[in-house]
């Protein structure tokens, strides 16, 4: 059997780089070494390096993504993209790899860029009749009126960076006096922010992936946060219960499955995505789509994959085989 060289790209340039390093480690541990040569590659602000098991760093040549393994130069057959945030989830890495002719396992560059920009993605999907919260947008250094914001979205509302993940920079606002602080906090993460009506209902998260031409929806997870919403603590520090499968009526689960499959097709997605919905009065409202969802041990996708009946080894193998020409 012709073993393929797989570089697992992890890290990135955003607040989420540590979570991405955990996701990447899980991929490296889970891939079948009988089938693949596996190379962890850290893409960080201070450089791109293949980091060997012993911790030795070998720089990546950006002309062709080649690197030394200590004995010879490796040009990977495929990149397993495990980067959350920029540059692996917003299309930059995808576009670069497309130009140098190396396949990667996530959504393509346009789909990644669009879904990473919550404002633009929701605007596109609203045009196709996808239900979303009422929203208001502000760019940095732009004058805004607190009155107008509250008249548009009401209270309570969420203030969040437009292009950031892992709940960094998000606030839930109950009183008009809190809104300026929340806006400034979101601007620390991004120069564009989105303010949305706080929907009331059950929050669910659902993974989808393609196996060649078939679109598979994973079991739905219900999110019950001890905190006021599913924030960073709830996501990563155990302050939430994630219940798979979700305790929702079958007709609501079916609505979520139908809607997310339709969205995945509409946007021409590939690879694994994870989307959040709030089910308000029986109707799923889309909150956001992640094209490089967390796959660390604590993450939702690995739990859903196991509930579906696949091991991570089998699942990651599907993602790689989908794009190996």
Task: Report, at the CATH architecture level, how domain 114-131+199-291 is classified.
Answer: 2-Layer Sandwich (3.30)
CATH of 135-197, one of 3.30.1490.20, 3.90.1150.10, 3.30.1330.40, 3.30.360.10: 3.30.1490.20
pLDDT bin (cut points 50, 70, 90) of residue 227 is: low
Mean pLDDT of the chain: 93
Q: Does residue 292 surpass a pLDDT of 70? A: yes
Domain 4-106 has CATH 3.30.70.2170: no
The predicted-structure confidence for 45-95, as pLDDT tens digits, reads as follows 999 999 999 999 999 999 999 999 999 999 999 999 999 999 999 999 999
Residues 6+ apart with CB under 8 A from 196: 133, 134, 135, 136, 153, 157, 158, 160
Whether 231 shows a pLDDT value over 60: the answer reads no
Could you report the per-residue pLDDT of 136-179, keeping only the tens digit for each?
999 999 999 999 999 999 999 999 998 865 567 899 999 999 99
Instruction: Give the model confidence (pLDDT) of 259-284 as tens digits.
Output: 999 999 999 999 999 999 999 999 99
Task: Give dist(CA 56, CA 36) in Å, integer.
Answer: 20
Interacting residues of 257 by C-beta distance below 8 A, sequence separation 6+: 206, 217, 220
Percent of the chain's residues with pLDDT above 70: 94
pLDDT of residue 62: 97
Q: Domain boundaries in the chain? A: 4-106, 114-131+199-291, 135-197
The whole-number average pLDDT for the span 125-133 is 96
Q: Bigger pLDDT: 146 or 235?
A: 146
Domain 4-106 shares a fold with domain 135-197:
no
Give how far the C-alpha of residue 147 lies from the chain's centroid of Cα atoms, to the nearest Å.
Answer: 33
- pLDDT beyond 90 at 212: yes
CA distance 32 to 9: 17
Structure tokens at 102: 């190396």
């Amino acid at each position: 059997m012709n073993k393929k060289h797989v570089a697992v790209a992890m890290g990135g340039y955003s607040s989420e780089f540590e979570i991405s390093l955990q996701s990447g480690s899980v991929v490296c541990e889970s891939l079948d070494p009988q089938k693949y040569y596996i190379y962890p590659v850290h893409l960080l602000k201070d450089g791109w390096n293949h980091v060997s098991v012993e911790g030795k760093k070998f720089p990546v040549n950006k002309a062709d993504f080649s690197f030394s393994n200590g004995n010879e130069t490796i040009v990977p057959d495929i990149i397993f993209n495990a980067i959350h945030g920029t540059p692996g989830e917003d299309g930059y890495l995808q576009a670069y790899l497309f130009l140098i002719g190396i396949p990667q396992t996530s959504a393509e560059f346009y789909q990644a860029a669009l879904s990473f920009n919550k404002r633009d993605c929701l605007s596109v999907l609203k045009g196709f009749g996808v239900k979303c919260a009422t929203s208001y947008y502000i760019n940095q250094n732009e004058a805004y009126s607190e009155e107008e914001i509250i008249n548009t979205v009401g209270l309570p509302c969420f203030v969040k960076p437009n292009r950031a993940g892992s709940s960094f920079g998000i606030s839930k606002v109950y009183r008009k006096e809190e809104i300026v602080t929340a806006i400034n906090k979101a601007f620390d993460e991004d120069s564009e922010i989105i303010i949305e009506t706080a929907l009331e209902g059950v929050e669910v998260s659902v993974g989808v992936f393609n196996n060649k031409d078939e679109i598979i929806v994973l079991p739905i997870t219900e999110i019950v946060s001890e905190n006021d919403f599913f924030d960073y603590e709830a996501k990563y520090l155990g302050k939430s219960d994630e219940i798979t499968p979700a305790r929702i009526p079958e007709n609501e689960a079916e609505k979520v499955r139908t809607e997310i499959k339709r969205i995945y097709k509409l946007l021409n997605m590939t690879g694994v995505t994870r989307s959040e919905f709030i089910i308000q009065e029986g109707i799923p409202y889309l909150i956001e789509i992640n094209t490089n969802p967390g796959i660390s041990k604590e993450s939702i996708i690995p739990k859903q994959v196991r509930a579906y009946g696949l091991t991570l080894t089998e699942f990651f193998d599907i993602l790689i085989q989908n794009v190996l020409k």
